[in-house]
Structure 1
Amino acid sequence: MSHPSLRLAEITPDNVVTACGVKVREDQNRFVAPVERSLAEAYAACGTAWPRLVMDGDEAVGFVMANFQPEEREPDFRCGIWRLNIAEGGQGRGYGRFAVQAVCEEARRRGNDRVTVMWVPGEGGPEDFYLRLGFRPTGRVLGGETVGEMLLR
């Protein structure tokens, strides 16, 4: 499915309330932190966090936050997706795929050849989504979350 109107938007004072309005399905809350918490973490990690709204035209349909920290000692935290929240009404429309691809493009632009993501395992969780996109479990578990990686070619 092609979405020529999809883009990522930097979080600004003009759209921060809109970003906070992105809510996943209620049953998914145990798998991903709310956007408000992500933005607080982005503020605390302002030198490395990369929070963005996923926009379809003028409509906010999701939120993605990556982290780019090439000097980090822990390889799993050098370049990765920290959060992906697709609004309840927008799930299954390719918005999540677009967001992950956009993070991968930014990672390549910054010279990275690997992107990581961590997910909480469980029925109804995001594992199948990430596996379909090409992430593979590394065999590591950090804080109860499975670490997945995608090698960028």
Structure 2
Amino acid sequence: MTSTTSSPRLEKITPGNFEAATGIRVRPDQEHAVSPVMRSLAEAYVHPGVAWPRLIVDDGRPVGFLMAFFDIDWYENGTVLRSGLWRLNISAEEQGRGYGRFAVESVAAEIRRRGGDQCYVTWHPGADGPEDFYLGLGFRPNGEKSEGETVGVLELG
């Protein structure tokens, strides 16, 4: 991380940090691969029992945003409930400092705390997508696609 005395933490989105959260911007070449924070917060609003939006803060400054999902009805037929990372936006100037790894580990820990043993994520395929990042953290494609994106799973057991 950027400082030996600080460590990143997650904060709930509140009126006090809303502007900081919506100010998170990824690199321009990544914008096609992840929705802006504002859209994520709108989705969190309409999915209050499922979405878990959090601001990633380090040493008092916002460095990223994540949104997890818990027990979503994956096939919309009640047969498969999944939890995982829905969105990950790391500020362009903060990338490469371990905040993405921190975000994934934080979501995995929350899934475990809630009794889950798998963490799901989807990513845009291709050289300009985050596939190498997710594979490097242990996610493995499970052969599914979701809205054209690769579905990956990380075993937490």
The letter for the 2-side match of 1:59 is R
Name the counterpart of 2:8: 6
Name the counterpart of 1:29: 31
Question: 1:74 and 1:128 mapped to 2: Cα distance?
Answer: 30
Q: What secondary structure is seen at the aligned counterpart in 2 of 1:78?
A: strand
Name the counterpart of 1:133: 137
Gaps of 5+ in 2: none
1:61-100 equivalences under 5 Å are 61-69=63-71, 73=78, 75=80, 78-100=82-104
Q: CA deviation at 1:70?
A: 6.2
Runs of 4+ residues over 3 Å off in structure 1: 1-4
Identity rate of aligned residues, in percent? 56
Q: Go from structure 1 to structure 2 and tell me whether the alpha carbon gap of 1:71 and 1:144 turns closer, same or farther (over 3 Å shift).
A: closer
Deviations 1:35-75 (A, max 9, x none): 00000000000111000011112100000000112666363
Q: CA deviation at 1:122?
A: 1.7
Deviations 1:108-138 (A, max 9, x none): 0000000100011122211100000000000
Question: 2:21 and 2:69 mapped to 1: Cα distance?
Answer: 18
Residues 70, 84 of structure 2: 8 Å contact kept: yes
Q: What secondary structure is seen at the aligned counterpart in 2 of 1:79?
A: strand
Question: 2:7 and 2:59 mapped to 1: Cα distance?
Answer: 5
Gaps of 5+ in 1: none
* Superposition TM-score, scaled by structure 1 size: 0.94
Aligned length: 152
Of the three residues 52, 55, 79, the one matched with 2:54 is 52
Of the three residues 125, 128, 153, the one matched with 1:149 is 153
